[in-house]
Chains A and B, each alone.
Chain A
Amino acid sequence: MMRSFFRSSSPFRLSPFRMLVSYLILGFWAFLILFPLYWLFITAFKLPAAVNNGPFYIPFVDFQPSLHAWEYVLVEIGNDTVRLFTNTVGVSLISASLALVVGSGAAYALTRFQYRPKVGTVLVFLGCVLLAVVFTVLGVPWPLAVAVAIALFILSLFTIARRFKRALSNNDIAFWLISQRILPPVAVVIPIYVVFQQLRLLDTWVALIITYVATNLPIVVWLMRDYFASIPYELEESAQIDGASRFRIFNQIVLPLSLPGLVATFLFVLVFCWNEYLLALFLTNARAQTMPLAVVAQNATRGPQWWYMSVLVLIMIVPVIAMAIALERYIARGLLVGAVKG
Chain B
Amino acid sequence: MRISPSERLAPAAFILPAVLVVLFVSIFPLILSLFLSLSRLRFQAGGLELQFVGLDNYRKLLLGNEQKVLFGTLSEPSPLGWAILALIAASLGLVIYRAARRRLSIGALVGRLFAAAVLVGLTYLVVATLFAPEGRPGTLVVTMLYVVVGVACQYLIGLGLALLCAQPLPGRRFFRVVFLLPMMITPVGVGYLFRMLADTNKGPLEPLWIALGMQDFAWSNNAWGARIAVMIGDIWQWTPFMFIVLLAAIEAQEIEPVEAAIVDGASSFDIFRHITLPAILPVSTTLILIRIIEAFKIIDLPNILTNGGPGTATETLTLYAYRIWRALDIGGSAAIAYILLFLVTFIATLYVRALRSRLGTT
Contacts of A225 in B (CB 8 A): 286
Name the prevailing secondary structure of the A interface residues.
helix
Tell me the number of A-to-B contacts counted with CB atoms below 8 Å: 308
Stretch at the interface among A19-27, A65-73, A74-82, A159-167: A19-27
Which segment of B23-31, B61-69, B74-82, B93-101 sits at the interface? Answer: B23-31
B2 to nearest A CB, angstroms?
11
**Contact, CB under 8 Å: A26 / B161:** yes
Q: Which of A19, A179, A230, A246 contacts B252 (CB 8 A)?
A: A230
Chain B, residue nearest A210 (CB):
B25
Please tell me if B255 contacts chain A, counting CB pairs below 8 Å: yes
Contact with A along B172-202 (1 / 0, CB 8 A): 1101111111111111110011111100011
| B349 contact set on A, CB distance < 8 A | 175
Closest beta carbon of chain A to B36's beta carbon, Å: 7
**Interchain CB contact under 8 A, B178 and A30:** yes
**A180 contacts B22, CB within 8 Å?**
yes
Contact B15 A115 (CB under 8 A): yes
A-chain residues with CB within 8 Å of residue B180 when the two chains form the complex: 267, 324
**Do the beta carbons of A105 and B14 come within 8 Å of each other?**
yes
* Bound-state Cα–Cα, A321 to B330, Å: 39
Task: Mark each residue of chain A from 6 to 38: 1 if its CB lies under 8 Å from any CB of chain B, else 0.
Answer: 000001111000110011011001101111110
Judged by a CB distance under 8 angstroms, whether B55 is at the interface is: no
Q: Contacts A26-B161, A336-B252 given; indicate if A102 touches B245 (C-beta within 8 A).
A: no
Q: Give every chain B residue within 8 A of A30 (Cβ-Cβ).
A: 175, 178-179
Q: Are B186 and A129 in contact (CB under 8 A)?
A: no
If A105-B17, A210-B24, A230-B282 touch, whether A183 touches B341 (CB-CB below 8 Å) is yes
- CB pair A331–B248 under 8 Å, yes or no, is yes
**How close is B350's CB to chain A, nearest CB, in angstroms?**
12
Please tell me if the beta carbons of A105 and B290 are within 8 angstroms of each other in the complex: no
| CB of A221 within 8 Å of the partner chain | yes
B279-299 interface code vs A (CB 8 A; 1 in, 0 out): 100110010011001101101
Q: Which of A26, A55, A333 contacts B251 (CB 8 A)?
A: A333
Cβ 8 A contact of A246, one of B7, B289, B290, B340: B7
Within 8 A of B (CB), among A299-319: 299, 304, 306, 309, 312-313, 316-317
* Residue A123 at the chain B interface, CB threshold 8 Å: no
Number of interface residues of B (CB under 8 A): 112
How far is A55 from B256 in the complex, measured between Cα atoms in Å? Answer: 53
Contacts of A168 in B (CB 8 A): none
How many Å lie between the Cα of A54 and that of B205 in the bound state? 10
A14 — which chain B residues lie within 8 A by C-beta?
Answer: 167-169
Q: Is B206 an interface residue (CB 8 A)?
A: yes
A171 at the interface (CB under 8 A from B): yes
Residue among B26, B259, B297, B340 with the most chain A CB within 10 A?
A: B26
Please indicate the chain B residues that have their CB under 8 angstroms from the CB of A334 in the complex: 251, 255
User: Is the pair B196, A306 in contact by a Cβ cutoff of 8 Å?
Assistant: yes
Of B22, B183, B192, B197, which contacts A214 at CB under 8 A? B22
Does B203 have its Cβ within 8 Å of any Cβ on chain A? yes
Please tell me which one of the listed residues B183, B265, B341 contacts residue A271 in the complex, with CB atoms under 8 A apart: B183
A interface residues (Cβ-Cβ under 8 A, vs B): 11-14, 18-19, 22-23, 25-26, 29-30, 32-37, 39-40, 43, 51-55, 57, 102-103, 105-106, 108-110, 113, 115, 129-130, 133, 137, 171, 173, 175, 177-188, 190-192, 194-195, 210-211, 213-215, 217-219, 221-223, 225-227, 229-230, 245-247, 250, 258, 260-261, 263-264, 267-268, 271, 274-275, 277, 291-292, 295-296, 299, 304, 306, 309, 312-313, 316-317, 320-321, 324-325, 328-329, 331-337
Can you show 10 pairs from A to B with CB atoms below 8 A apart? A40-B193, A106-B17, A129-B31, A175-B349, A175-B352, A183-B340, A210-B21, A221-B18, A247-B6, A295-B189
